[in-house]
Chain A
Amino acid sequence: MVRGIYTAAMGMLNDWFKLDSTANNLANVDTVGYKKDIPTFSAYQERHIYSSLDRRTPIGSLPYSSVVDRVYIDPTEGTLQYTGNFLDLAIEGKGYFAVQRDNEVYYTRAGNFKLDAEGFVVNTDGFRLLDENGEPVRFEEGYSVDEQGFVRDRLGNMVGRIGVYSFASERDLRKVGYTLFTSTDESGPAVAAENFRILTGYVELSNVNALTEMVKMVELQRHFEIAQKVVLAEDEMFSKLFSQVASLK
């Protein structure tokens, strides 16, 4: 009897979730290497509810509701911006840089690297950039990086190659924050990337499109208001039901 009100309320909760996700995208509209989150929702015609998972006693079904299904990463390439800084590296095409802290390897497209006191190339948090063999990359005076990621010294001799890795399913990478990702079972392991170019002096900007996010926000807000109206209408019906039907003599 009271399921309609729950369906509407779930719609409202989903809108809040969308807003949280959109808020994070908009907050990161200017974050180098940020990949936006896309929440998806799935409709359940009938979703069986159990009293507990162990006993599996059916207590009914929840019709026509929708729930957050999953959140995935939109791996679209962001705009590449020229900075002129020789340690700003951007990947054109598919691929991620690998950075290491202790024994943990993370993947990132935020190529605004720095040098630490020992000459290692590090990200903003001091995680070391790895080469194609998984060893930290070290820079000395006059080093440069070419489009294929080969590191050359002042005389043009090759001294190593920056590792660029790709995944079978990029959108299934796991975000750990700080513009870092880790691989998951679904994304598949990191393999050496092909068909990429490294651009020196560029950074990849966030791939958040302010316009689409704003449209999404307006849409979810209106949807939220409509769902609220539905809750109110249901409430009114109950009110009538309880006050008028009960008063019949």
Chain B
Amino acid sequence: MMVSLYSAATGMWAQQYKLDTVSNNLANVDTTSYKKIRAEFQDLVYQYYKNAGTPTAQNSMIPTGIYVGHGVKLSATNRIFTIGNLEQTGNALDLAIAGDGFFQIQLQDGRIAYTRDGSFKIDSEGRIVTANGLSLVPNIVIPADAVSINVSPDGIVSAEMQDGTVQNLGTITLVRFVNPAGLKAIGDNLYVQTVSSGDPIEGTPNQDGFGAIQQGFLEKSNVDVVKEMVDMIIAQRAYELNARTIQTADDMLRTVSTLKR
């Protein structure tokens, strides 16, 4: 008898969760290479009061049975790895991946994390590092007397020296995953591999399906503001609908309580 109250409560909870993901997406609308999250729902279990095929008193059968569902649950928060717009910055160490792939970053504890955020800097020792000072793998050191740095679409990093010679400094490799949606976000635009992402597959940019490296560009967030606003409206309305169900159930219970005078 109280099924509707609980179903509506699950609905309100689910929409609240949806709003949480929408607000995180909107908060990161301007975060370099941020990948939006989508909340997905599933209906819950069904309670069968009568199964299909139950005989009735009139020697007939109930064709499909009588059942009632118990609401909704969050089934997944799916990260959508579509590519964001590339924005030109003109900065030599801003690298964007035009296509599939992740940069590899060494964490302080030695593990490798993955990112599409290519806003690199040079630290005091000339190494290419992220905004947080974590170094790019493979490690590339820019000589102090380099005049300009050039990164080719297939990842070859070279520097023009003061004397006019060009020095090859190494190659940036990329990795990709069978299931990037299975990566675990650890914040700071970094991801680490999990059992469901599979192992990283390493390769050269602009080859074998890897994206080309675009020097002087940054990948913007793939959050679509209009879409998020629409999702926010839907979440709010769906929340209200479920609140309405609770109100109706409550009113009906009150009606019941006036049966006995």
Contacts and interface: CB of A to CB of B under 8 A. Distances in A.
Interface of A: 12, 15-17, 19-24, 26-32, 34, 37, 39, 47-48, 50, 53, 68-72, 83-85, 110, 112, 114-119, 124-125, 141-142, 154, 171-172, 174-179, 184-186, 210, 213-214, 217, 221, 224-225, 228, 231-232, 235
Nearest to B194: A117
Contact of B197 (A71, A117, A175): A117
Interface string B48-74: 010011000100001111111111100
B167 interface: no
Contact of B4 (A23, A34, A70, A172): A23
Interface residues of B, number: 67
B43 A178 contact: yes
Given A30-B238, A141-B209, A228-B258, A114 B181 contact: yes
A176 B46 contact: yes
Given A23-B242, A117-B178, A174-B64, 6 more contacts: A19-B4, A24-B7, A37-B68, A117-B197, A171-B64, A228-B255
Given A179-B42, A179-B43, A217-B244, A27 B64 contact: no
Interface stretch (B11-19, B105-113, B129-137): B11-19
Contact of B75 (A22, A69, A125, A175): A125
Interface in B196-255: 196-198, 209, 234-235, 237-238, 241-242, 244-245, 248-249, 251-252, 255
Contacts, number: 204
B27 interface: no
B69 A24 contact: yes
B46 to A, nearest CB: 5
B245 A23 contact: yes
B147 interface: no
17 contacts: A15-B252, A23-B242, A24-B43, A24-B69, A26-B11, A26-B245, A34-B43, A37-B69, A70-B64, A71-B67, A71-B68, A83-B38, A114-B181, A117-B198, A141-B209, A176-B46, A186-B52
Contacts of B179: 114-117, 119
A32 B78 CA distance: 13
Given A22-B245, A70-B63, A186-B63, A225 B238 contact: no
A104 to B, nearest CB: 16
B255 A19 contact: no
Interface-centre pick from A19, A141, A174, A213 (highest chain B CB count, 10 A): A19
Interface-centre pick from B76, B181, B241, B258 (highest chain A CB count, 10 A): B241
A175 B69 contact: yes
Nearest to B240: A210
B68 A24 contact: yes
A231 B5 CA distance: 24
- Chain A contact residues: over half helix, strand or loop, or mixed? mixed
Interface of B: 1, 3-5, 7-8, 10-11, 14-15, 18, 38, 40-46, 49, 52-53, 57, 62-72, 75-76, 78, 80, 82, 100, 176, 178-179, 181-182, 195-198, 209, 234-235, 237-238, 241-242, 244-245, 248-249, 251-252, 255-256, 258-259, 261
A19 B52 CA distance: 22
A53 B59 CA distance: 11
A112 B76 CA distance: 10
Contacts of B1: 16
Nearest to B198: A117
A27 B45 contact: no
A27 B248 contact: no
Contacts of A29: 11, 238, 241
A39 B235 CA distance: 26
A117 B8 contact: no
A124 B256 CA distance: 41
A85 B76 CA distance: 15
A178 B198 CA distance: 26
A27 B209 contact: no
Contact of B248 (A19, A31, A172, A210): A19
Contacts of A115: 178-179, 181-182
A159 B182 CA distance: 25
B42 A177 contact: yes
Given A124-B76, A177-B46, A23 B178 contact: no
Contacts of A22: 4, 245
